[in-house]
Amino acid sequence: MLPTFSTKTLPNHHSISTGLYQNKHGIIHNQMFDDIYNEHFVDGNGKDEKWWNGNRMAVPLYIANQLEDRRRASCCSPWIGCHAPYHGRRAKYFIRFNQSSCYYEQFDWTLMKLIDRSNPANLALMYIHEPDSIGHKYGPYGWQTKQKVRRVDRFVGFIYNRLKQLNLTTKINIIILSDHGLADARPYRSIVMESFLNKTWYDAYGSNPVYTLKVRKGFETVVRKILEPYRINNCKLKQSAKTFCVYSQQQIPKRYQYDYNGRIFDYLLLANEGWSVYKTDKDKQRSKSSFGQHGYDNQLNIMRPLFIAFGPSFRQQYYHHNRFINVDLYPLMLKLLNMSPNQYYHQGKWINVRSMLKQQYLLEKNKKNSNLK
């Protein structure tokens, strides 16, 4: 599975929820600026729905589920973006993200909603912030990160065993996934923007290793000249190719699906794998103890997230060889909720994931056998 670009946390959660690429749903980074509102959005501080409802055609999965039937209930415990209302609607059950909350308490609360006698949830989404947090500090190969991965693995085992005790494993489909990978990023492999760009010429929105640059009026020419060696046409030929590249709006690769959005400005600055880019030297000093990073090109192997699924609807002992992107999960999850994969607007491709399901696989197998007769 591939994440969407940029390979940051909030944008990829919203891509999974909506089946849309970031330039369509509007959450293009964990940190961004909106010209229309003249406001900054930093790591989810935007609880107002104006940030999350960037596309009126988008319907988050937890809302789509409840629109299908008034008796249905969605549960977010928590899920990024679920705290914001969608045109006045919310998931029936939700709690806000709290980094100090206990995973086991989160799951106990979720389980109570799944087995609630009056209005049980038929869809539950749950997010835990580890091993992301510790991975940023110690890197993907640090023993502390590996230890945290083992703890999360034990927690997943606890979930399965708890569901098994209640005879729910034959009734519930479970998807275990992550939003992105993690690259080894040593502090000495870093670039500071103010070392080659005067900070009075532009505004940079985002965070290491990916930013969108908005050039201030009157400085367009000087900024263009300074960035020329780093622009993608020249980048491959120069030493800068080992550190970072700059794309103008017109040069952003189509596969990124990261253009033509009001929160993406004149240039996209993207570090290469393992490199860091900071706005100021002060930012660099604050991050000198950080050894792990994500946000890079979404086709890098190191950025690939985890995907495991099991339950009554999924094929057993099956390895999905076809590459897919996380927006493809939206039609898959609609199907798991007994809805048409194309019931709501999305950019996912049902054909990329449908063979994961038992029923779909048998239908296609029978159809193929019929054609051979």
Calculate what percentage of the chain has a pLDDT beyond 90.
Answer: 83
- Beta carbons within 10 angstroms of residue 270's beta carbon: 25
Amino acid letter, residue 97: F
Instruction: Judge whether 347 lies within some domain.
Output: yes
Backbone torsion region of residue 257, taken as left when φ is above 0, otherwise alpha when ψ lies between -120 and 50, otherwise beta: left
Cα–chain-centroid distance for residue 57?
A: 19
Q: Which two tokens stand for residue 9?
A: 């946390």
Collapsing DSSP to helix, strand or coil, 9 comes out as helix
Same-domain pairing of 98 and 247 = no
- Beta carbons within 10 angstroms of residue 203's beta carbon: 16
Strand partners, 293: 183
Dihedral over Cα of 236, 245, 196, 295: its sign: negative
- What is the predicted pLDDT for the residue at 230? 82
CA separation for the pair 8, 52 (Å, rounded): 15
Q: Which two tokens stand for residue 157?
A: 């085992």
Instruction: Read off the pLDDT band of 315 (50, 70, 90).
Output: very high
pLDDT tops 60 at residue 344? yes
- What is the predicted pLDDT for the residue at 90? 94
Same-domain pairing of 177 and 89 = yes
143: domain CATH number is 3.40.720.10
Q: Domain total for the chain?
A: 2
Same-domain pairing of 213 and 272 = yes
Same-domain pairing of 312 and 248 = no
Based on C-alpha coordinates, what's the Rg of the chain? 22
- What is the predicted pLDDT for the residue at 231? 77
pLDDT tops 70 at residue 339? yes
Question: pLDDT tens, 75-123?
Answer: 999 999 999 999 889 999 999 888 778 999 999 999 999 999 999 999 9
Same-domain pairing of 194 and 276 = yes
More confident position, 244 or 239: 244
Instruction: Judge whether 368 lies within some domain.
Output: no
Say if residue 171 is exposed, middle or buried (CB neighbours under 10 Å; 0-12, 13-18, 19+): exposed
Instruction: Judge whether 373 lies within some domain.
Output: no
Contact 43, 206 (CB under 8 A): no
CA separation for the pair 137, 283 (Å, rounded): 15
Provide the residue range defining the domain that includes 208.
190-289
Dihedral over Cα of 157, 177, 330, 60: its sign: positive
Instruction: Read off the pLDDT band of 31 (50, 70, 90).
Output: very high
Same-domain pairing of 173 and 202 = no
Instruction: Judge whether 43 lies within some domain.
Output: yes
- What is the predicted pLDDT for the residue at 373? 52
What value does the mean pLDDT take over residues 267-276? 96
Same-domain pairing of 162 and 197 = no
pLDDT tops 80 at residue 326? yes
Same-domain pairing of 345 and 267 = no
Same-domain pairing of 219 and 280 = yes
Contact 27, 49 (CB under 8 A): no
Same-domain pairing of 140 and 161 = yes
∠ CA 353-358-360, nearest 5°, is 60
CA separation for the pair 356, 295 (Å, rounded): 28
- What is the predicted pLDDT for the residue at 236? 55
pLDDT tops 90 at residue 313? yes
pTM above 0.85, yes or no: yes
Collapsing DSSP to helix, strand or coil, 357 comes out as strand
pLDDT tops 70 at residue 19? yes
Instruction: Read off the pLDDT band of 371 (50, 70, 90).
Output: low
pLDDT tops 60 at residue 239? no
CA separation for the pair 238, 236 (Å, rounded): 6
More confident position, 54 or 218: 218
Instruction: Judge whether 224 lies within some domain.
Output: yes
- What is the predicted pLDDT for the residue at 97? 84
Question: pLDDT tens, 58-83?
Answer: 999 999 999 999 999 999 999 999 99
Instruction: Read off the pLDDT band of 235 (50, 70, 90).
Output: low
Q: Which of 262, 289, 316 lies at the terminal end of a domain, its last residue? A: 289
Q: Which two tokens stand for residue 222?
A: 């000087």
Q: Which residues contact 278 (CB under 8 A, 6 or more apart)?
A: 190, 191, 192, 193, 208, 284, 287
Contact 189, 276 (CB under 8 A): yes
- What is the predicted pLDDT for the residue at 116? 97
User: Could you tell me what percentage of the chain is helix, strand and coil, using 3-state DSSP and rounding each to the nearest 5?
Assistant: 35, 15, 45
pLDDT tops 60 at residue 155? yes
CA separation for the pair 195, 193 (Å, rounded): 5
Q: Which of 4, 7, 9, 145 is flagged as catalytic?
A: 9
Calculate what percentage of the chain has a pLDDT beyond 70.
Answer: 95
- What is the predicted pLDDT for the residue at 238? 54
pLDDT tops 60 at residue 137? yes
Q: Is 169 a catalytic residue?
A: no
Same-domain pairing of 226 and 274 = yes
Angstrom distances, CA of residue 338 to CA of 50, 58, 74, 343: 30, 19, 14, 11
Same-domain pairing of 195 and 326 = no
- The runs of H, that is alpha helices, within the chain are 9-18, 22-25, 49-52, 61-68, 103-114, 132-138, 143-165, 220-227, 232-235, 281-286, 329-336, 358-372
Instruction: Read off the pLDDT band of 253 (50, 70, 90).
Output: very high
Q: Which residues contact 95 (CB under 8 A, 6 or more apart)?
A: 76, 77, 78, 106, 109
Q: Which of 231, 261, 289 lies at the terminal end of a domain, its last residue? A: 289
Mean pLDDT of the chain: 93
